Amino acid sequence: MHITQKSLHKKQDEILLHLGLDNFEVKESQIHGLGLYSKKYFAKNTELGPSLIHKSVELPYIRYLGSQYDPDLKWEYSQTTATRFINHNNKPNLKIYKQEPDIGIIYAKCLIDIFPGDELTLDYKETALIAEDFTDKNVVEYYCKILEMSLDELYSFLKLHNKAF
Query: pLDDT by residue for the chain (165 residues), tens digit each?
Result: 333 444 434 444 333 344 456 678 888 989 888 888 999 899 999 887 666 555 444 444 344 444 444 444 444 444 445 677 788 888 999 988 776 665 566 778 899 999 999 999 988 777 654 444 444 455 556 556 656 667 677 666 666 554 332
Say if residue 50 is preceded by a cis peptide, omega within 30 of 0: yes
Give the CA distances from residue 64 to residues 2, 26, 88, 112, 115, in Å, rounded to whole numbers and listed in that order. 31, 13, 9, 23, 23
Residue 20 is predicted with a pLDDT of 52
In the three-class reduction of DSSP (H, G, I as helix; E, B as strand; rest coil), residue 9 is classed as helix
DSSP state of 13: H
The torsion region of residue 115 among left (phi > 0), alpha (psi -120 to 50) and beta comes to beta
Domains and CATH numbers, the chain: 5-160 (2.170.270.10)
Q: What is the pLDDT of residue 114?
A: 94
pLDDT at 24: 83
Residue 73 has a CB neighbour count (10 Å cut-off) of 14
Q: Give yes or no for a contact between 94 and 111, defined as CB atoms under 8 angstroms apart.
A: yes
Structural element, H or E, at residue 155: helix 151-160
Residues 6+ apart with CB under 8 A from 7: none
* Closest to 147 (Cα-Cα) out of 65, 34, 91: 65
